Structure 1
Amino acid sequence: MAKVGTGLVKGLLLSATILSASPVWAQDSDVDARLDRLEALVSGLIERMDAKQTAATEGDVAVAQQAQQAITETRALAQRTAAMETKVAEQSAGGNGFNVGKTRVTYGGYIKADAISQRTSGGQVGTGSIVRDFLIPGAIPVGGTSSGFDTDFSARQSRFILQTSTDVGGGHTLGSKIEMDFMVTSGGDERVSNSYTPRLRQAYITFDNWLFGQAWSTFQDVGALPETLDFIGSTPGTVFERQPMVRYSNGGLQIAVEQPETTVTSPTGGRVLAGDDSLPDVVLRYNHTGDFGHLTAAAIGRVLRVKPDDFGLISDSAIGYGLSLSGKVGLGSRDDLRFMATAGQGLGRYIGLNIVNDAALRLDGSLDPIATYSGFLAYRHMWTDNVRSTISGSYFKADNPVALTTGGVTDESWNAFGNIIYSPVPPLDLGIEYMYANRELENGASGNLQKIQLSAKYSF
């Protein structure tokens, strides 16, 4: 009887040992059930052997107890293995989303509620105007009488992002991204519904190193933008453009052909979109990253073009070009400095939400590209782990041919802002920000904008 019991216990111990050594068992969904049955069997055997000590030797009991210990250790190993595999799977998949066959679908975005109160010294901004939603330097009123503080509440900046990634075999990956929000769209009112129409921000396909579709311009360094409650913040000194393109990336090097569009200042100072472009804008960019942060250099070449149908004169084309240097540099253990400096001619629509146009029209109908200079500097300081502030200043200057554009076009614009942002939990930001912005025309007329903004933002 003792020999039979000893053999059975040793067999059980051998089974537990095999189970603990096999990763296949650790991945089996019913491993816990199997261990429960094995543990119950060993426990029952030990009880019977304790009740019949005359039929069992001390060695039998010791072997059975070793079997019990092996099963306990096996259970712990299986649980650790399953947890580790789950963590690895989540990290490789991005941590959120779900799988559809070979495609990983992830989603993100944020909900943002804003309360904005602002005044303008050069005239009243009408209700429903986008100038009351965020800073547009070229639209700051000038020459009029000062308005009082106008207050608006909005959730229009809320954003939704959907992305996919598919392993198509052969070491290739096919991806996509679509991003939408509700800014700069019609359909809403502050009287009853505030029902604003969604708009497309980004929509593109990626295949290995290639990108096809609408994305941030390769000429813009999104990673250098300061943290702000305003939609953009340092707008006068910022390259800001989203448009369709084809882009190739290899390491830090990027080259892209992007949508062309020539904006022209008419002899009366107005804006004309020629729509006659035949060659894409070409951008070359290099990104250098390190422990310090990142530095980016980007160059752009453009062919500006008009036809007789636009102004009833001649067809003409002109070269536009520019260079932008930007980056984000760490200061100390947590603070950082962000900056951008851009100069060139024929860059009008790329800078500060098209503060000035790409070119002016000479008397014979030919194009005179407008030179621009812009930049910003921003410093972010971490007061504690969940409280931080950013202060920033930006500047824009245009070299308009006044004889062709009149004195009613923007000569320069600048702004400064400071904020305090508190994150009680990582996905939630609560903040307050003060901004002062100024715009001056070539004829000397000027106007300023003062804004206080409170925001709550939940990122997911």
Structure 2
Amino acid sequence: MASQYSDGTLPSGNIGRDFYIPGLTPVGGEDEGTAFDMHARQTRFNFSSNTTLSNGKALKATIELDFMATPNGDERVSNSYSPRMRIATIEYDGWLFGQTWSTFQDVSVLPETLDFIGATDGTIFVRQAMVRYSAGGLSVALENPETTVTPFGGGGRIVADDNGVPDLVLRYTLKQDWGHISAATLIRQLAYDDGNAIDSTETAAALSVSAKVNLGRNDVRMMFNTGAGMGRYLGINAANGAVLNASGELESIDSSGGLIAYRHLWSEQWRSTLSYSWFSADNDTALTGMGVTESTRSVRVNAIYSPSKELSFGVEYAHAQRDVENGLEGDMDRLQFSAKYAF
């Protein structure tokens, strides 16, 4: 990856050097900055088993690992990285137990990109522990809660673990010959207790609508998300779920975002995806301060060559922009190459 920033450079070891994170695009720097990086940390392994139990019913177990754990390894000599758990689930009789993609996320509309996520700005992107029941196109889940809070006046992020109830997600997906359309609702409690003067909760809700439309061998993928208190669910936590007011009470932060992507198959061996993604936060700057992210957006286009079904080589160009409430802005241009063998 070769990255050029309009306002400085992300420091070595910053996770934004490995893949695009909207809230990390530098702003307010005096000079342009460049960075070149190479890594194989996206390598992953997925193991699954399907077993018929003694009662005649099926049980599926899955575990998936990659090497994107932080902090980063040492690039001076060994370039060693620790494996991390991405997915670990068991599925039985319509029930799922364990850690996997949030029910609030429609994984099937993620664009095919070289970047680890791609259209990150407007994408719901969370893996976490849950209990989920699915029947037909309907899924209902109770998922692990976690609240991110902006202190009164700004100045960082508080990651609280004070929730008394799980996040509730309901999703319905309609599948047709032309593709699918899906809608999900997130209802969650935002909570923060500092063990002293602050002990506050706030209820928030959000909506996500997504679709994939087949156009012959090609397809269009889209997603739109809006609501209060999404926080960490949207844009890799580009905005927090809530902000503390002067009285020490939580107030949810409204945000929205979306993506649209078109994938075109040029031949049996060549394909490309063009995608656009955006994020916007409705910050009450009297509470959050002026140093928080107001909006981000990115566009990317790639070309992928597969000499065989299992092997792919790709090149991708991305342009991203970030605006902060105080008027500062910055952009990033990134050229990326990849090689992937799927087996």
State TM-score, norm by structure 1. Answer: 0.73
Partner of 2:90: 205
Matched, 1:170 2:42: no
Matched, 1:141 2:26: yes
Matched, 1:390 2:273: yes
Partner of 1:255: 140
Looking at structure 1, the residues matched to 254 and 72 of structure 2 have their Cα atoms a distance apart, in angstroms, of: 37
Larger radius of gyration: 1
Matched, 1:320 2:204: yes
1:403 alignment partner, SS class? helix
For the 8 Å contact 2:7–2:33, the answer to whether it is kept is no
- The offset of 1:146, in angstroms, is 3.3
For the 8 Å contact 2:153–2:286, the answer to whether it is kept is no
Partner of 2:103: 218
Cα shift readout 1:285-304 (whole Å, capped 9, x = no counterpart): 01111211111110010011
- The offset of 1:150, in angstroms, is 1.5
- The offset of 1:131, in angstroms, is 1.0
2:286 alignment partner, SS class? helix
Partner of 1:305: 191
Residue identity opposite 1:173 in structure 2: A
Partner of 2:225: 342
For the 8 Å contact 2:96–2:133, the answer to whether it is kept is yes
For the 8 Å contact 2:89–2:100, the answer to whether it is kept is yes
Residue identity opposite 1:306 in structure 2: Y
For the 8 Å contact 2:16–2:24, the answer to whether it is kept is yes
Partner of 1:292: 178
For the 8 Å contact 1:130–1:184, the answer to whether it is kept is no
Looking at structure 1, the residues matched to 307 and 21 of structure 2 have their Cα atoms a distance apart, in angstroms, of: 31
Partner of 1:329: 213
- Structure 1 stretches lacking a partner, 5+ long: 1-115
Looking at structure 1, the residues matched to 210 and 159 of structure 2 have their Cα atoms a distance apart, in angstroms, of: 29
Cα shift readout 1:88-113 (whole Å, capped 9, x = no counterpart): xxxxxxxxxxxxxxxxxxxxxxxxxx
Matched, 1:240 2:143: no
Partner of 1:273: 159
Cα shift readout 1:7-48 (whole Å, capped 9, x = no counterpart): xxxxxxxxxxxxxxxxxxxxxxxxxxxxxxxxxxxxxxxxxx
Structure with higher helix content? 1
Cα shift readout 1:294-347 (whole Å, capped 9, x = no counterpart): 1111001001112242xx43322111110100021111x211000000000000
2:41 alignment partner, SS class? coil
Residue identity opposite 1:251 in structure 2: G
- The offset of 1:139, in angstroms, is 1.0
Residue identity opposite 1:395 in structure 2: W
1:153 alignment partner, SS class? coil
Looking at structure 2, the residues matched to 295 and 187 of structure 1 have their Cα atoms a distance apart, in angstroms, of: 38
1:149 alignment partner, SS class? strand
Q: Aligned-residue CA RMSD in angstroms?
A: 1.1
Which stretch shows the higher mean deviation, 187-196 or 441-450? 187-196
Residue identity opposite 2:159 in structure 1: L
Looking at structure 1, the residues matched to 264 and 9 of structure 2 have their Cα atoms a distance apart, in angstroms, of: 35
Pick aligned residue for 1:127 from 12, 17, 27: 12
- The offset of 1:169, in angstroms, is 3.1
Looking at structure 2, the residues matched to 127 and 349 of structure 1 have their Cα atoms a distance apart, in angstroms, of: 24
Residue identity opposite 1:327 in structure 2: A
1:287 alignment partner, SS class? strand
For the 8 Å contact 1:215–1:244, the answer to whether it is kept is yes
For the 8 Å contact 1:376–1:394, the answer to whether it is kept is yes
Pick aligned residue for 1:161 from 46, 51, 65: 46
Which stretch shows the higher mean deviation, 342-351 or 176-185? 176-185
2:308 alignment partner, SS class? coil
Pick aligned residue for 1:282 from 137, 156, 168: 168
Looking at structure 2, the residues matched to 190 and 231 of structure 1 have their Cα atoms a distance apart, in angstroms, of: 20
Looking at structure 2, the residues matched to 334 and 200 of structure 1 have their Cα atoms a distance apart, in angstroms, of: 34
Looking at structure 1, the residues matched to 15 and 149 of structure 2 have their Cα atoms a distance apart, in angstroms, of: 23
> RCO greater where, 1 or 2, for CA within 8 Å and sep 6 or more?
2
Cα shift readout 1:255-299 (whole Å, capped 9, x = no counterpart): 000001111000242100121101000000011112111111100
- The offset of 1:171, in angstroms, is 3.2
Looking at structure 2, the residues matched to 430 and 307 of structure 1 have their Cα atoms a distance apart, in angstroms, of: 49
- Structure 2 stretches lacking a partner, 5+ long: none
Looking at structure 1, the residues matched to 30 and 273 of structure 2 have their Cα atoms a distance apart, in angstroms, of: 32
- The offset of 1:229, in angstroms, is 0.2
- The offset of 1:187, in angstroms, is 5.4
Looking at structure 1, the residues matched to 11 and 44 of structure 2 have their Cα atoms a distance apart, in angstroms, of: 25
Structure with higher strand content? 2
1:169 alignment partner, SS class? coil
Cα shift readout 1:239-270 (whole Å, capped 9, x = no counterpart): 00000000000011100000011110002421
Cα shift readout 1:33-81 (whole Å, capped 9, x = no counterpart): xxxxxxxxxxxxxxxxxxxxxxxxxxxxxxxxxxxxxxxxxxxxxxxxx
Partner of 1:100: none
For the 8 Å contact 1:185–1:199, the answer to whether it is kept is no
Alignment size in residue pairs: 342
- The offset of 1:149, in angstroms, is 2.8
Looking at structure 1, the residues matched to 70 and 320 of structure 2 have their Cα atoms a distance apart, in angstroms, of: 24
Seq. identity, %: 50
Looking at structure 1, the residues matched to 29 and 279 of structure 2 have their Cα atoms a distance apart, in angstroms, of: 22
Looking at structure 2, the residues matched to 244 and 379 of structure 1 have their Cα atoms a distance apart, in angstroms, of: 32
Looking at structure 2, the residues matched to 142 and 237 of structure 1 have their Cα atoms a distance apart, in angstroms, of: 20
Matches within 5 A, 1:370-385: 370-385=253-268
Residue identity opposite 1:391 in structure 2: L
State TM-score, norm by structure 2. Answer: 0.97
Partner of 1:421: 304
Partner of 1:354: 237
Looking at structure 1, the residues matched to 198 and 69 of structure 2 have their Cα atoms a distance apart, in angstroms, of: 35
